[in-house]
Structure 1
Amino acid sequence: MNIRNKVIIITGASSGIGRATALALSKYKNTIIIVARRKDKLEDVAEIIRDNGSICHYFTGDALDENFCNEVVDEVIKMYGVIDLAILNIGIGPPSNTLQASAIKIKHCMQINFDTFIHFYVPIMHQMKKQRTECMIAHMNSLASFFGIPMQGDYTAAKGAVRLFMQTARMELKHFGFKNIHIQTIHPGFVDTEAVRDDGMPAPYEISKEKAAGYIIEGIKKNKKENMFPFKTTLGIRLARRWLPEWLITCVVLSQTPSDY
């Protein structure tokens, strides 16, 4: 997919991977709409995007509010008539012990990782089905969505749910003849962001958010169905899924799990 002169929505763009990806795409003369809750952070990102030669609009609000998400999409369509690329990036993954966490905490994590995606996916897909040009919805998932991970049960469950939802959407688009719409699931490994830097969880083969943004852009260009990176972490996941028995995977993940949380 061409990434130049496009109308792009990026959620969760005030920091981390979303911010880095927005800044990387701003070097290609795009119109970039960034969404997050922190207005001051969005203003900073918007200024850099414009300095890089792209147009930028920002919307401040909570993606748990379905009405807010619909309003953002409606405004973008009023201004530009199309959405070429949507990178849905909102999520959290704090350590969470399933033996101790409250129902409120577990559901809150799952809602932020699942509901926020759905609230943008539905109106964006509704719009893209009207378009005839090539377009894409990409979701920032995780390599952790392929296994249960101790201390991350709510996070991996939500990411796994979105992964299966996207897989189904991809099938349905093909079946009903929407060949111009691409669905991509982005699976980063460990990325050094402000949100996870001090969470106490192991992070083997961790990469910078700028490097992650580079992988994301390359995956979009190639229309990958699943964009998995970096190589060492991806290789481990692929080998584990294909060859390792469940008891051995359990031993490996438990060996990296804190014993006193």
Structure 2
Amino acid sequence: MKHQQIDQDGQNSDKVIALKEADTRKVNQSRDHVFSKLNNLTLKKLKDQVIVITGASSGIGLVTARMAAAKGAKVVVAARNEKALMELVNELREKGHSATLVQADVGREEDVNKIAETAIKEFGHFDTWVNNAGISIFGHAMEVSIDDIKRMFATNFWGVVYGSKAAVKHFKERGVPSALINVGSLFGDRGTVIQSTYAAAKFSVHGWTESIRMELEKEKVPVSVTLIHPGRIDTPYNEHARSYLNKQPAHRGMIYPPEAVAEAILYSAENPKRDMFIGSQAKALYLVGTLCPRLTDKLMEFIMYRTQHANRPSKPPEDSALYHAGYGLHERGTNIGWIRSGSMYVKAAKHPIFSTTAAIGIGVAAWAAMKRKK
């Protein structure tokens, strides 16, 4: 009887092991199937998503949160300015949207983890994570203090690292196709003067994003990793920046609206994209900088010194948002120049059929700019 019992127990154990192995094979087959279609990864529609957005109290993050909610997404907004976030969430809820907030400094890992925990507690999960929070410094690299550079890197680079880790951990646990979207900069593709330390941080973001994309692909993790490359955008970015200049930082020249960046971000939340350039300006600088680096040096030296400030005194250092929250709920800044109504390049990236139209538009824009200079 004992031998029969042992044999029966052994058979039962073998069945359990076999079932577990079968389940594991099914999971792996399912994961491999998802991975095999990674380039055609099927992401949820915005109306079915929970989206986390950092730096959501102003500028690009604020516009993205409002647009995402309007499209039916549940949004989790995070920033240092709790008052602005509360007003934003109340605004969205009054319109019938689902939203929650987290006061957080993305330069602190524990704060970023709190964002993820809040999203899961409130909605059970999240589908897209947007690392958008950022701050700039206007000043020559040799003049900017080490403390200021470290603080800026804490937000612009380490905030992205912490956010990426928190998001990917959750995405791996769920095993559901998801999106990680990191907001870079045209200065992350090509260095610049005056915002040289900011460019260094964004170069780091670009390198980080490309590297983790490859590692996640190798691990067969069903996550779409997108890098956003904004050109010059009309947001309070310049007012929030720490300035070492005598004159107030400001964009001059061709400037794109934050809606164009939000459009690219939300398109990437639904459609796997490697890169999204906001404006031909960003793409052109990337291409010219790669193909003709020395010529680009000279062009940047000629153009950028005169186009990064307004003709008014710079705000004092204590008014910047480098070490504390800046003012909130402002989508636009006080920039000077030709503020576009949108980005035809983004339209082209979303709809290849518009590529020709975008090319024509860029040509017309260049011609118009030349006419104005005459």
With structure 1 as the length reference, what TM-score do the two structures score? 0.91
Q: Give distance in 1, aligned partners of 2:287 and 2:173.
A: 40
Q: Does 1:33 align with 2:65?
A: no
What corresponds to 1:176 in structure 2?
A: 219
Task: Please list the CA deviations of residues 207-248 of structure 1 after superposition, one character each: whole Å capped at 9, or x if unmatched.
Answer: 111232223223333321111111x2134224303432x221
Per-residue deviation at 1:141? 0.9
Q: Does 1:165 align with 2:198?
A: no
Decide which of 256, 264, 280 is 1:207's aligned counterpart.
Answer: 256
Aligned residue runs from structure 1 range 216-255, under 5 A: 216-230=265-279, 232-244=280-292, 246-255=293-302
Higher helix share: 2
Q: Give distance in 1, aligned partners of 2:118 and 2:58.
A: 23
**CA gap 1:40/1:79 in 2 versus in 1, 3 angstroms:** closer
What corresponds to 2:109 in structure 1?
A: 66
Per-residue deviation at 1:157? 0.9
What corresponds to 1:97 in structure 2?
A: 140
Q: Percent identity?
A: 23
Q: Give distance in 1, aligned partners of 2:212 and 2:283.
A: 26
Task: Please list the CA deviations of residues 122-148 of structure 1 after superposition, one character each: whole Å capped at 9, or x if unmatched.
Answer: 122111101122211101111110111
What code does the residue aligned with 2:133 have?
A: I
Task: Please list the CA deviations of residues 60-97 of structure 1 after superposition, one character each: whole Å capped at 9, or x if unmatched.
Answer: 12222211221221232233332200111111113121
Q: Does 1:49 align with 2:92?
A: yes
**CA gap 1:164/1:55 in 2 versus in 1, 3 angstroms:** same
**CA gap 1:241/1:256 in 2 versus in 1, 3 angstroms:** closer
Structure 2: give runs of 5+ residues left out of the alignment.
1-42, 240-246, 310-374
Q: Does 1:76 align with 2:119?
A: yes
What corresponds to 2:304 in structure 1?
A: 257
Per-residue deviation at 1:195? 2.3
Misfit runs of 4+, over 4 Å: none
What code does the residue aligned with 2:138 have?
A: P
Corresponding residue pairs, total: 257
What is the aligned-residue RMSD (CA, Å)? 1.9
Aligned residue runs from structure 1 range 10-29, under 5 A: 10-29=53-72
Kindly indicate whether the alpha-carbon contact (under 8 Å) linking 1:202 and 1:256 is maintained by their aligned counterparts in 2.
no
What code does the residue aligned with 1:256 have?
A: I
**CA gap 1:159/1:83 in 2 versus in 1, 3 angstroms:** same
Structure 1: give runs of 5+ residues left out of the alignment.
none
What corresponds to 1:148 in structure 2?
A: 191
Per-residue deviation at 1:112? 1.5
Q: Give distance in 1, aligned partners of 2:166 and 2:262.
A: 25
Q: Give distance in 1, aligned partners of 2:283 and 2:214.
A: 26
Per-residue deviation at 1:204? 3.3
Which structure has the larger Rg over C-alpha atoms?
2
Decide which of 223, 227, 230 is 1:185's aligned counterpart.
Answer: 227
**CA gap 1:241/1:195 in 2 versus in 1, 3 angstroms:** closer
